[in-house]
Amino acid sequence: MYKAKLAVFDLDGTLLDTLGDLAAAVNHSLSEAGFPTHEMTDYRKMIGHGVRNLVKNALPEGAADEIISQRLESFKAFYAEHIDLNTRPYPGIEDLLVDLQKEGVKLAVASNKLQSGTMTLIKEFFPDIDWVAILGDSPCTALKPDPMVIETICRKAGLGAADTVMIGDAGSDIKTARNAGVRSIAVSWGFRPIEDLAGADAIAHDSFELKNLI
């Protein structure tokens, strides 16, 4: 028996392993302008705060806003064309979502990824899921940890905070849940080290454990 009626999932590092494609796109943008690039693992700590912050953090410290904007546009163009070359769902995620849906749990996505990229990946990898909402970074949605994204999803689902759980791999997801007054489950297979997940209400180490915690 599930405790939650609405499960809100983060995308990068939670549902999908997008690290390789994100790193390749940022490195392309950097090298195109002669800036040093980074190892793929270095991007683990940069992802999750919106694409502008991702590009800003990858550039040398103190880069001008104009440079950040130029490299961001280059990143967006390259990533749009190469968004799914190496991206894959984490083990068991597809079955988990199908099972939850069959049991009547409403499902949604709350990501700091650009809305266009979020929609592209969700529709490609999870086409059989009837999502209540798929919300990414857009002019209409504040970035996590602002609770607006959870509040918007709850309204769309017709459910309250007590019925909702937020699942993610980063401190920003945990803070979002806390700010919105909903329960949080952190997943240990994502981009952040386990010590960053200490504030979650629970931590799942695989999809089976996550299912039981929801």
The pLDDT value recorded for residue 6 is: 98
The tokens for 110 are: 């709350």
Residues of the chain with pLDDT > 90, as a percent, come to 95
49-98 pLDDT per residue, tens = 889 999 999 999 999 999 999 999 999 999 999 999 999 999 999 999 99
pLDDT for the residue 2:
65
Q: Please write the tens of the pLDDT for every residue from 87-143.
A: 999 999 999 999 999 999 999 999 999 999 999 999 999 999 999 999 999 998 899
Options 10, 12, 17, 169, the catalytic residue? 10
Picking from 150, 135, 168, 179, the residue whose alpha carbon sits closest to that of residue 48 is 168
The secondary structure of residue 117, as a DSSP letter, is H
> What would the two tokens of residue 8 be?
């809100």
**Length of the chain, in residues:** 214
CB 13 within 8 A of CB 176: no
Q: Which amino acid is at 21?
A: D
DSSP 8-state secondary structure symbol assigned to residue 133:
E
> What does the alpha-carbon distance between residue 214 and residue 205 come to, in Å, rounded to a whole number?
13
| pLDDT, tens digit, 9 for 90 and up, residues 3-28 | 899 999 999 999 999 999 999 999 99
Nearest CA-CA partner of 100 in 201, 174, 207: 207
Cβ atoms 25, 47 nearer than 8 A:
no
| Predicted local distance difference test score (pLDDT) of residue 79 | 97
Domains annotated for the chain, with CATH where assigned, are 6-17+88-213 (3.40.50.1000), 19-81 (1.10.150.240)
Mean pLDDT of the 183-189 span = 98
Task: Determine whether 10 is an active site residue.
Answer: yes
pLDDT for position 99: 97
How far apart CA 149 and CA 143 sit, in angstroms, is: 8
pLDDT tens digits, one per residue of 22-38: 999 999 999 999 999 99
Tell me, what's the pLDDT at 135? Answer: 97
Residue 65, helix vs strand vs coil = helix
Q: What is the distance between the alpha carbons of residues 68 and 206, in angstroms, rounded to a whole number?
A: 37
